[in-house]
Amino acid sequence: MNIGTGFVFHPRGYILTNEHVVSDGDRIMLRVFGKKDLVEAQVVGRNRAHDIAILSADIPIPSPILKIGQGKDVHVGEWVLAIGSPLGLDNTVTVGIVSAKNRPLQIGDREYPNLIQTDAAINRGNSGGPLINLRGEVVGMNTAVSQSSQGIGFAISADVLRKEVDHILKNLN
């Protein structure tokens, strides 16, 4: 069973997460903040190469929508918040700084050319959650953590998210 995080990014209630979070699932169940029961979701679009998936679920609309920022507004040394469900612990927020931008990394058969590196704690279950700057903008999507050391996490940059999400959404219509 995979665990991960996602966030509402679109007025239609679309949820953004990592493709690796939903790739092996027969059924995708969401725990929605403020709802007691789990909600079933469907994958409506995905890009395996960039590790991005868009979900649709019966959630209250308008739900709080997070704005995806721009890569040019992210600076090394900037404070960021990683939001997610590390190890299944819902609604967890960790804080750190941006250590690097455009960091290339290969994980298994996926190549990530432009990751944001942060020391905000990212663990199993944070994947798909937002990396947010202090202005409340999504600057990245939590994606990976270094297996060989502690305190090094990675997020897909906002620019990659915006480009690939736009492409996926155009193909939905």
What residues are labeled active site? 20, 51, 127
Cβ of 77: how many Cβ atoms within 10 Å? 7
Which residue matches tokens 């069973």?
1
**Please, are residues 153 and 107 in contact by the beta-carbon 8 Å criterion?**
no
- Please state, in angstroms and rounded to a whole number, the distance separating the CA atoms of residues 12 and 68: 15
d(CA 56, CA 81): 25
